[in-house]
Structure 1
Amino acid sequence: MESTDASPGALVAPAPTRAVNNKWLVTLSVTFGTLMGAIDSSIVNVALPQIRGAVGATVQEITWATTGFVIATVMVMPLTGFLGRLFGQKRVYLACLVLFVVGSFLCGLAWNLPTLILFRFLQGLGAGALQPTEQAILRQTFTREEQGTAMAIFAMAVMVGPAIGPTLGGYIVDNWHWSWIFFINVPVGILGFFMVARFVHEDEQLRASARKEAELQRRHMDWSGIVLLCMGLALLQYVLEEGQADDWFQSPLIVVCSIVAGTCLIAFVIRELTAPVPAVNLRLFKDPVFASGTLLNALVFAVLMASMFLLPVFMQELLGFTATQSGMALMPRTLVMLLCMPFVGRLYRRVPARILVAAGIVFAGFGAFEMSHFSLETGSHDIIRAIMLQGVGFSLMFVPLSATALANIPRERMADATGLNSLLRQIGGSMGLAIFTTLLSRYSIQAKASIAAHLNPERLEVASRMGLMQKGLMQRGLDQASAHLASLQMMVGSVTRQGMVLAFDKLFVLAALMFVVVLPLIYFLKAAPSGGGSQEKPHIDVEI
């Protein structure tokens, strides 16, 4: 990567410390924050029982430790470009990294539920800008020919983080105190801070352009747009996170939040399209390359997050795996993604994005279909075979979708585009989780009722099964009445478990069908024309 130092002194004497650059140092530097933020989106879930006991919260109340984090994250993501122009892209990244680390440390010290929710919210505010800022910096650091490699690195942080979060969290909780799931961010964050401060430097031309736009922003501050955005996204995320627990639109609170969220977001869109200097540049969606890539990315991420949610629940609830065991069983998918993504990044330069994404959908869909055959006798080898197929599929999809979506964005608009791209990906994942969580509850009730309808004691096979169970219990020392009651309870438990299996199998089939439905949408994945914004030389300097 060439140095972009254009100072007058450079015409007289060479710049001794900025002449040699290493793009891999900037990559390593900015990936620390994104990886920590991605891990923290899922690592807390396995520790909720321990945290709940420590802060004295109910099962319903403790979910706010996750909800508050996600709400804060989505509020910041679309404002990344706006903040970068006001304060500088590097300063925003460093400030958010500090906020994330401080929030993590305070979460480990939380003494009750309100303080935990507050500190998780602070942590989320810091995490929100890390992901889109890293994506923008990598796009500006690597050449057009290397964009596949850049997005492969970004994809590993975004996708592998949530995958290893439960495993890491389970290990920490099983061997140490739950607070270490937060404290572990502190040394890593400090290292990342000093690496970014030392090695990442914004291009002067880019900063000059940002300063001009910042002056316009200060004269025409879009306060109403920012307020509408924050209110709309916060309420939308609340509905998606808490809707299932509150029985969706049977709850007056969910209904009110949905109406207010929809009104705020519609008003926000109108405001941003008419404001002299909008806080969020929604006109980027006029570019068909960005629009098609971003929307497809959101759809794929919805199915991805739903799939990543279902399997751990299946293993822990029905197969009796511990959190650590289920995390270890899922590790092959993470390893496959780590191995495949660099290869896909190189392949992106030679194979059209549509072909890569289509192949990824086929692999991921076939993996989901394999999961639809799971039963109570399913072993680890059956799970590993299915998730390895999904690992290949997710790698083939995510890398080209991320690279293609931003391929035609001018460098001065890159932070705006990555913020919107990250936001829609996050909302897509939240919607996928909300839909599949709701369907799991409904399908299990339906399946249980359907099985129970056939449990007529007058049927020979039912009476025989009950008799065998009762006889076995009596041989263990129970009297006839107690054995009869216990056999009935065992039969109810068996019905419940079988109903859950049928519900999971149905959802895995649905996930496979959703991949099939997404497949024709690849037609709308526009190819980036030559001469796109990414063709320009990189504009983030990295010194060594």
Structure 2
Amino acid sequence: MSTQALPQSARRGAEHRWLIAVAVVLAALMQVIDSSIVNVALPDMMGNLGASLDEIAWVSTGYILASVVVIPLTGFLGQLLGRKQYFVGSIITFTIASLMCGAAHSLGALVFWRIVQGIGGGALMTVSQAVLFESFPPEEAGVAMALFGLGVMVGPTIGPTLGGWLTDTYGWPWIFYINIPVGILAAWMIYTYVHDPEDQRRPAVIDYAGIALLAVSVGSLQYVLEHGEREDWFASRLMVALATIGGLGGVALIWRELTTDHPAIDFRVLRHRQMWVGTLLGVVMGVGLYAMAFALPVFLQGNLHMTAEQTGIVMLPGAAATAVSMAVVGRLSGRFDPRLLITMGALTFACAAWQLSLITAESGAHDFFWPLVLRGVGLGMMFVPLTTITLAELSLTELPQGTGLYNFFRQLGGSFGIAGISTLVVRFTAQTRATLVEHLDVTDPSTLSRVDMLTHGMMAKGADPGRAHQQALALLDRQVTGQASVIAYSKIYVISAVIMLSLIPLLLLVRRTSGSASAHAVLE
């Protein structure tokens, strides 16, 4: 039996663990919400700052690039600066940058402060997870991860709704100002109740080469994933160059970090079987989860013409189901094999995705209620046990590096999922539209009847016969394109289901865990 139990003496501040849980969840929730809340305000920013669509996109891209580069460095930076000091500093950086983003009067200033905000935000989720895992005893680790998961999973759901309401009611700067009181409260609670581990050691050497390789490789790859579809992927020389830099830089980064005595990113933690298997599972889950999370709001707003606020309301029952599911699974994780819970969660998620694949252009909000509730239940059943088994074999000193790598690869999987799904939606829509158009023959009686009906409808609105006929043809074309888009999204949901189901055979690689020790002990 190989046991990596966290000694009680190392759990400084454990008596305040529930206050610590509230503080770190606030920090994580603030970061996750900010990743999605901005998107609904971009049109208002464009008008206010006089920016084009490509220019305003850097408000989101700058934040994502900065945060993705920082995430795998959080373990190293926590050692260098002291984890508590780094955590509080990151929250303060994020909060001040939020204030400056809201006060920005130019696109350049807004993008700059969004990058600063991303630098601060990159640490919030990863360090929160490490602090939470250390503060709770092994038998309560599932509950701790459930609390953390609430912020991770619920945040993207309420983000668009909150962002739409704030933008419509008070203006876009308030999507940033709302972070200020939350950030102040979280920073104060972390400063008051969280303590550094007793065995924390500052690194003897700073790995400047590793940090530079990380920034270049991950930044290039993330840019390709964010903008590849817009640039027609490898038809663009820029995308080819950045993909090459990202690939070669990634290989150089791994070689550098495995051969130096003081790496900024300790890939050696992946030697633990639970860690590398859990990370692989996290990548797969990230692809499937982010793919659906990206596709659903776009479908609701683009095809069913819902507002951002209406979209958030439709998705709210799923968020509530996730919260309830995580709370229940957090209590049950010590009694059941995590592999069983993940399997049940994957099957439930796949069932929800299959139900969503049956949607039509006539679907209403009520048609999404049960599929999204099922999806929420499935996510709750997967997230808590997956996080627990991934970190099971890590010692206290390895935990910060492990959480950083786990979150980094899950985020990277999500980026691959979004990039792949956005490309497939366009291609599936074009292919389906071409197929549908083949069946629209100008000599077909049903087609002629449809065009005639639409023409008379346009004439009833005051158009002359010639113009009414052209408008009818244009409307028919939009209807065909809309139906093609619905079919394309239906295929996307099926793909998401298949991706989640692929988690189940991968669970054979996970070691059997036992009882309440599943958080920190693995049976050989």
Task: State the TM-score, normalizing by the size of structure 1.
Answer: 0.92
Provide Cα deviations, 1:209-258, integer angstroms capped at 9, x if missing partner: x2xxx2xx33x331111110111111111111111111110110000000
1:20 shift after superposition: 8.7
Identify which of 428, 448, 459 aligns with 2:444: 459
CA distance in 2, matches of 1:256, 1:245: 16
1:409 lines up with 2:394 in the alignment: yes
The number of residue pairs the alignment matches comes to 516
Q: Specify the alignment match of 2:144 in structure 1.
A: 150
Identify which of 189, 193, 211 aligns with 1:195: 189
Identify which of 140, 145, 160 aligns with 1:166: 160
Identify which of 114, 117, 137 aligns with 2:108: 114
Identify which of 196, 199, 210 aligns with 1:206: 199
Identify which of 22, 26, 35 aligns with 1:28: 22
For residues 428 and 456 of structure 1, do their structure 2 counterparts lie closer, same or farther at Cα, with a shift above 3 Å needed?
same
1:477 shift after superposition: 3.1
Provide Cα deviations, 1:103-135, integer angstroms capped at 9, x if missing partner: 111111121222111111000000111111111
CA distance in 2, matches of 1:512, 1:120: 34
CA distance in 2, matches of 1:384, 1:26: 34
1:206 shift after superposition: 2.2
Secondary structure of 2:359's counterpart equals coil
For residues 505 and 2 of structure 1, do their structure 2 counterparts lie closer, same or farther at Cα, with a shift above 3 Å needed?
closer
1:61 lines up with 2:47 in the alignment: no
Identify which of 422, 426, 430 aligns with 1:437: 422
CA distance in 2, matches of 1:523, 1:493: 48
For residues 248 and 400 of structure 1, do their structure 2 counterparts lie closer, same or farther at Cα, with a shift above 3 Å needed?
same
Identify which of 290, 315, 320 aligns with 2:300: 315
Counterpart mapping for 1:7-18 below 5 A: none
1:366 shift after superposition: 0.6
Q: Specify the alignment match of 2:96 in structure 1.
A: 102
CA distance in 2, matches of 1:360, 1:180: 37
Q: Which moved more, 1:65-74 or 1:505-514?
A: 505-514
Q: Specify the alignment match of 2:433 in structure 1.
A: 448
Gaps of 5+ in 2: 1-5
Q: Specify the alignment match of 2:212 in structure 1.
A: 227
For residues 379 and 272 of structure 1, do their structure 2 counterparts lie closer, same or farther at Cα, with a shift above 3 Å needed?
same
CA distance in 2, matches of 1:164, 1:391: 14
Provide Cα deviations, 1:426-458, integer angstroms capped at 9, x if missing partner: 111111111001111111111111111221111
Instruction: Determine if contact 2:166/2:172 at 8 Å carries over to the other structure.
Output: yes
Instruction: Determine if contact 2:138/2:519 at 8 Å carries over to the other structure.
Output: no
Secondary structure of 1:410's counterpart equals coil
> 1:509 corresponds to which letter in structure 2?
V
1:494 lines up with 2:487 in the alignment: no
Identify which of 185, 210, 225 aligns with 1:240: 225
Q: Specify the alignment match of 1:395 in structure 2.
A: 380
For residues 278 and 500 of structure 1, do their structure 2 counterparts lie closer, same or farther at Cα, with a shift above 3 Å needed?
same
Q: Specify the alignment match of 1:11 in structure 2.
A: none
CA distance in 1, matches of 2:13, 2:107: 52
1:528 shift after superposition: 5.1
CA distance in 2, matches of 1:349, 1:293: 18
1:19 shift after superposition: 9.4
Q: Specify the alignment match of 1:86 in structure 2.
A: 80
Instruction: Determine if contact 1:292/1:526 at 8 Å carries over to the other structure.
Output: no
Counterpart mapping for 1:122-521 below 5 A: 122-203=116-197, 205-207=198-200, 210=201, 214=202, 217-218=203-204, 220-521=205-506
> 2:246 corresponds to which letter in structure 1?
A
1:526 shift after superposition: 2.7
1:533 shift after superposition: 9.0
CA distance in 2, matches of 1:20, 1:325: 41
CA distance in 1, matches of 2:120, 2:512: 34
CA distance in 1, matches of 2:266, 2:418: 28
CA distance in 2, matches of 1:158, 1:508: 22
> 1:475 corresponds to which letter in structure 2?
A
Provide Cα deviations, 1:437-492, integer angstroms capped at 9, x if missing partner: 11111111111111112211111111111112222322333322122111111111
Instruction: Determine if contact 1:409/1:533 at 8 Å carries over to the other structure.
Output: no
1:529 shift after superposition: 7.9
For residues 533 and 324 of structure 1, do their structure 2 counterparts lie closer, same or farther at Cα, with a shift above 3 Å needed?
closer
The structure number with the bigger radius of gyration is 1
Provide Cα deviations, 1:86-107, integer angstroms capped at 9, x if missing partner: 1111001011111101111111
Q: Specify the alignment match of 1:38 in structure 2.
A: 32
Gaps of 5+ in 1: 7-17, 537-544
Instruction: Determine if contact 2:13/2:194 at 8 Å carries over to the other structure.
Output: no
CA distance in 2, matches of 1:37, 1:98: 12
RMSD: 2.0
CA distance in 1, matches of 2:90, 2:218: 19
Secondary structure of 2:195's counterpart equals strand
